[in-house]
Structure 1
């Protein structure tokens, strides 16, 4: 597998389309943590211009437009019902992405691992795969992943079959697995109000 050029071949996708059910229905990407919305922590971590960022959201689109040039909804498939899950957001992003790769980040983990993109690119090259995802030493972290947009056709069929489980889809694409066990705490996400303390 050839080396990936992060500057020209990768677009960042921030997944902010969830319902926040365990947070009493609030939009987690806009919740304040350490004085700033979660989405702002992520975009500052990324540190790149808004035209290289896609945000997948289903609410407050006008607010998210302050952080990314493209703000999309989970409407890539003709499926009834709201909130189809993160895979629908990934598919919608793949369909508008102008680079070969998407780096996926969830909006509720405001301190992602160091050198995330660099290490995922290295794993793709070393393991000769098309995509890569993180492993925290205990479990896979598939929403921290570098995905080849060639998978969009397979993902669309997967969703049209009514399937939603993230791990089931990733097992189909046989990604490289990248060891981030030394940074396990960077995968902590905020699911309940107490997590914000």
Structure 2
């Protein structure tokens, strides 16, 4: 890869309300006997250098999960669970590397070449952000916006965007040079937003 692995910080986004899971902490729900967030850590860690977990609840539990990977837990600087961009900002601020590779805590089957493909696209397009698209059963493009490789130099702009009351990931990406990278296996990015979807993953 043109960007060394050690220059990429992995970021597991586990700071949400878990609204569609009835308020449960999504990253701590079990899949095949292990918390979802641990599955994501196991996918990200071999592709990155340092690892961070963005969490606003059960911080000690996340610290335990991340200990084997040397992961640090970071929380949102904004109150009230303001969404994934706040988690991204926490990661961008905490990272000591030039890049952050983020993924939500409920995507346990991320591809092993995720970092390589996003790095190649970021490089080829001189982009600030590289994110993921797949195709649904009808052939329509599906964006997975918070599975993304971002330059940590974007932190100040993101902070200003959030301070203005903005929350939409796509709107912030539109302010920067963003490249969408197509992946053929949509199952690799399947996310369990609800207990039913988690049960579907378990059966699969």
**Common fold, TM-score beyond 0.5?**
yes
Aligned 8 A contact 1:105 1:143 in 2:
yes
Say yes or no: does 1:165 pair with 2:164: no
Aligned equivalent of 2:62: 64
Residue in 2 that maps onto 1:141: 144
- Deviation, 1:131, is 2.2
The 1:109–1:165 alpha-carbon spacing in structure 2 relative to 1, beyond 3 Å, is same
Q: Counterpart in 1 of 2:87? A: 89
Could you tell me which runs of 5 or more consecutive residues in structure 2 were left unpaired when the two chains were aligned: 136-140, 200-204
Q: How many residues align?
A: 190
Per the alignment, residue 73 of structure 1 pairs with: 75
Q: Counterparts of 2:57 and 2:172 in 1: how far apart (Å)?
A: 25
Contact 1:51–1:70 under 8 Å retained in 2 = no
Distance 1:155 1:50 in 2: 22
Q: Which 4+ runs in 1 deviate beyond 6 A? A: none
Q: Which runs of 5+ in 1 are unaligned?
A: none
- 2:202 counterpart residue number: none
Q: 1:9 deviation in Å?
A: 0.7
Cα shift at 1:174? 2.1
Name 1:153's counterpart in structure 2.
156
Q: CA RMSD in A?
A: 1.8
Q: Which of 173, 190, 194 pairs up with 1:188?
A: 190
Conserved 8 A contact 2:130-2:178: yes
Q: d(CA) in 1 for partners of 2:127 and 2:32?
A: 38
Question: Normalising by the residue count of structure 2, what TM-score does the alignment of the two structures yield?
Answer: 0.88
Q: Tell me if the contact between 1:51 and 1:69 (Cα under 8 Å) persists in the aligned partners.
A: no
**1:103 aligned partner:** 101
Seen in structure 2, the aligned counterparts of structure 1 residues 49 and 175 have a Cα distance that, compared at 3 Å, is: closer
CA distance in 1, matches of 2:111, 2:195: 23
